[in-house]
Amino acid sequence: MGVKNLRIAAIVAIGIALGACSEDDGAMVRMESGQRFEPEVLTVSVNETVTFVNESRDAHTVTAYEDGLPEGAAYFASGGFESESAARDDLAEGLLSSGDSFEVRFESSGTYRYFCIPHESSGMTGRLVVEE
Ligand SMILES: [Cu+2]
């Protein structure tokens, strides 16, 4: 009886540790129905990884505005493009289907503006504030 109770206690402790760990794992931006990024503005720390997850039925891109990056910051876009024009020229390659995710690690502080190519005109844009 005593041993059994101990084992249950150990399992509960592991569950709590894992839960805490996944929360610490990094920040998340969800692409939701209604063609928006949630949250629209997210603040993270330098070197933190942000995971963009498509939880909607539509396909979306996560595409940085080239003129919306901090000075000297690396460009990012789903599909791995190195410029906004390349991302716009090959829309299909950058699309994240329902359930897909995309991770970016931010090494420079500052404000990053990004958008979804197919839904830019609907206002599907977001901002990341990366703090020292
Ligand atoms: Cu979109």
pLDDT value of position 20:
43
CATH node for 27-131: 2.60.40.420
What is the whole-number distance in angstroms between the Cα of residue 93 and the centre of ligand 1?
14
Check residue 132 and give its pLDDT.
93
- Output phi, psi for 108, to 5 deg: -120, 140
Q: In whole angstroms, how far apart are CA 126 and each of 2, 51, 59, 68? A: 53, 13, 16, 11
Taking only the tens place, the pLDDT of each residue in 58-81 is: 999 999 999 999 999 999 999 999
Tens-digit pLDDT profile for residues 2-28: 555 555 555 444 444 444 444 445 799
Distance 16 CA to ligand 1 centre (A): 35
CA of 125 to the centre of ligand 1 (A): 9
Contact 31, 54 (CB under 8 A): yes
Calculate how far, in angstroms, residue 31's C-alpha sits from the geometric centre of ligand 1: 7
Length of the chain: 132
Q: What are the domain boundaries of the chain?
A: 27-131
